[in-house]
Amino acid sequence: MDNSTNSNFIKTIIKNDLASGKHKKIVTRFPPEPNGYLHIGHAKSIVINFDLADEFNGKTHLRFDDTNPLKEDQEFVDAIQEDVRWLGYEWEELHFASDYFEEMYERAVLLIKKGLAYVDDLSADEIREYRGTLTEPGKESPYRNRSVEENLDLFERMRNGEFADGEKVLRAKIDMASPNINLRDPVIYRIAHATHHNTGDKWCIYPMYGYAHPLEDAIEGVTHSLCTTEFEDQRPLYDWVVRECEMENVPQQIEFGRLNISNTVMSKRKLKRLVDEKVVDGWDDPRMPTISGLRRRGFTPEAIRAFVKETGVSKTSGVVDSAMLEHFVREDLKLKAPRTMAVLRPLKVVITNYPEGKIEWLDAEINPENPEMGIRKIPFSREIYIEQEDFMENPPKKYHRLYPGNEVRLKHAYFIKCEDVIKDEDGNIVEIHCTYDPETKSGTGFTGRKVKGTIHWVEATNAIPAEFRLYGPLLLDDEQNEEQSGEEKDFLEMINPKSLEVVHGFVEPNMKNVKAHDKFQFFRHGYFNVDPKHSTPDHLVFNLTVSLKSSFKLNK
Ligand code: ATP
Ligand code: MG
């Protein structure tokens, strides 16, 4: 699915800019901070930036916005590149904001010389206090009117490491009474004696986001700088920095609504907590909304891209039902994934009238919706496994599966009838005994009688043991982005205790050589992915990607 021809407000802006000659070629960028792994919200930004550039013959940069050494790490730099590529995108240029530190410093010196920046000795708390509120103007710092010479000297000494963290900052001198709090002399440099993943110990002062980001865009010649709506109030500062720093290229910041998904968290800070507090098995835990988690769970780049495109580009950010994401992975796997039978919670069935020691190899379609995938051979014998839930000793009305005296169809095989239930001393069911009718073999066109239930099974002597990891939503409740709700709830209290269930059963013998990330549809269960981290030839592990059932309907 590709709806790149759909129009959206950003496309309109770009079209006008190309038509008016403002830009000959457009340049976009995806600018992650390497302080965590990418999540599906980032996928939205990736798709928007890369697809727009592509559609208008422009280019896209991948830029690491690495201006905060305290939180950033090479591990994240590597993982982000892997994820962007896996989603199907390749950047024209790779950049690091930290490569521009020298130029950013020089531009700050220019601001000081123009009387537009000053070194402030107020503490972080005092700065906050002086800033005022939405209804009251801020107060000027007593250091605001230092001379240019003094500021130049102090700023250089900040760079040279003469001061401790927090002792001084550099602030833009804009307007302490501005109705936009971002313009009340924002801090543009702070001191942090920390080792940076790229620049090492070269710097001990680091530029702040509001100052660094517009410069990064301008230095790279980005034409349209797309970000989420929480940065809308920063746009006047963005434009101020580009203008007052006398940048040659003038990028335009445009905001779009962020993507949120129900029953999960979508902020790196919270995802990091889940990892650090070991609530999940790393950033790529299949319950995580990270790109690496979705990949491990069995989601495909095609499904993620189609989903993101369907959510559209607008100014508002809503919460999208996770069922919609699941809809797209089912759509994508429907024709691609081989069907096979897997028994997740096994119950042994002995077919007492089937010859002992005999094995029959039956034909089974690999994908009835895609006949080109051909057929596979599956064994059948006197002993098979079925699902525990496909047998009931005392069934309710309308239960059409196995119960004493009832006959069902075994998918791809024969009708079997339950004759006897074998229990241990404690009354637990150990196995059940059935008879089969050779006349009813699948594919022979038998029409003698009908049965209401069809169940799946795996032949017992050739079955391969396997572990199945069944996932549910990570959170019990919808958790709104705290930027939106404004309150900080402890989301860890909302963790779904049943987000992971592990069961052990069997798969067909033709699954012996599966590889990491192979995807299957297990008949009647859903789509599963071979776990890339824990599955080995001796211990197969399958992750439930998505079940088959869905009440979700795409409005088209
Ligand atoms: P988080 O709040 O999850 O930490 P972030 O915005 O701090 O995310 P960055 O690494 O700064 O993460 O984001 C890189 C780009 O991805 C930014 O342009 C940002 O606007 C965009 N982005 C992040 N989250 C979303 C989202 N949920 N929907 C759309 N775009 C997003
Ligand atoms: Mg950020």
**What HEC string does 52-75 produce?**
HHHHCCCEEEEEECCCCCCCCCHH
Per-residue confidence at 489, pLDDT binned at 50, 70, 90? low
Task: State yes or no: pLDDT of 480 exceeds 50.
Answer: no
Query: Residue 491's pLDDT is what?
Result: 83
Q: Mean pLDDT throughout 347-367? A: 97
Phi-psi region of 236 (alpha: psi -120 to 50; beta: other; left: phi over 0): alpha
Strands (E), 215-310: 224-228, 252-256, 260-261
Is 268's C-beta closer than 6 angstroms to any atom of ligand 1? yes
Query: Residue 6's pLDDT is what?
Result: 62
Tokens of 435: 């008879």
Which residues are annotated as catalytic? 33, 258, 268
Task: State yes or no: pLDDT of 552 exceeds 90.
Answer: no
Tokens of 482: 């705290």
Q: Which helix (H) or strand (E) holds 237?
A: helix 235-244
Q: Answer whether 259's CB lies under 8 Å from 78's CB.
A: no
Query: Residue 484's pLDDT is what?
Result: 47
Q: Which helix (H) or strand (E) holds 1?
A: none
Per-residue confidence at 549, pLDDT binned at 50, 70, 90? confident
Query: Residue 317's pLDDT is what?
Result: 81
Query: Residue 482's pLDDT is what?
Result: 42
Per-residue confidence at 553, pLDDT binned at 50, 70, 90? confident
Closest C-alpha residue for ligand 1 atom 2? 267
Q: Answer whether 41's CB lies under 8 Å from 83's CB.
A: no
The residues near 240 (Cβ < 8 Å, ≥ 6 apart) are: 172, 174, 183
Judge if pTM exceeds 0.95: no
Q: Answer whether 298's CB lies under 8 Å from 527's CB.
A: yes
**What is d(CA 346, CA 450) in angstroms, rounded to the nearest whole number?**
26
Is 289's C-beta closer than 6 angstroms to any atom of ligand 1? no
Per-residue confidence at 481, pLDDT binned at 50, 70, 90? very low
The residues near 453 (Cβ < 8 Å, ≥ 6 apart) are: 390, 400, 401, 402, 406, 408, 409
Cα–Cα separations (whole angstroms), residue 165 to 62, 126, 142: 30, 15, 20
- Taking the centre of ligand 1 as the mean of its atom positions, its distance from the CA of residue 116, in whole angstroms, is 30
Query: Residue 81's pLDDT is what?
Result: 98
- Domain positions in the chain are 339-463
Chain-wide mean pLDDT for the chain? 94
Q: Which ligand is nearest to the CA of 45?
A: 1
pLDDT of 127-138, one tens digit each?
A: 999 999 999 999
Phi, psi of 492, rounded to the nearest 5 degrees: -65, -25
Q: Which ligand is nearest to the CA of 38?
A: 1
The residues near 5 (Cβ < 8 Å, ≥ 6 apart) are: none
- Taking the centre of ligand 1 as the mean of its atom positions, its distance from the CA of residue 499, in whole angstroms, is 25
What is the strand order of the sheet 526-530 is part of?
A: 339-340, 519-522, 526-530, 540-547, 464-471, 500-507, 342-343
**What is d(CA 56, CA 51) in angstroms, rounded to the nearest whole number?**
9
- 173 vs 474, more confident: 173
Return the percentage of the chain with pLDDT > 70, whole number.
96
Specify the range with the lowest mean pLDDT, choosing from 278-282, 414-418, 435-439, 491-495.
491-495
Counting ligand 1 atoms within 8 A of each CB, the residue from 35, 37, 42 with the most, and so the one to mutate, is: 42
Q: Directed axis angle between helix 101-113 and helix 148-159, to 10°?
A: 160
**CATH code assigned to 339-463:** 2.40.240.10
Query: Residue 487's pLDDT is what?
Result: 53
Task: State yes or no: pLDDT of 214 exceeds 50.
Answer: yes
Closest C-alpha residue for ligand 1 atom 13? 32
**What is d(CA 187, CA 87) in angstroms, rounded to the nearest whole number?**
36
pLDDT of 429-472, one tens digit each?
A: 999 999 999 999 999 999 999 999 999 999 999 999 999 999 99
Q: Which ligand is nearest to the CA of 227?
A: 1
Q: Mean pLDDT throughout 357-374? A: 96
Q: Mean pLDDT throughout 103-123? A: 98
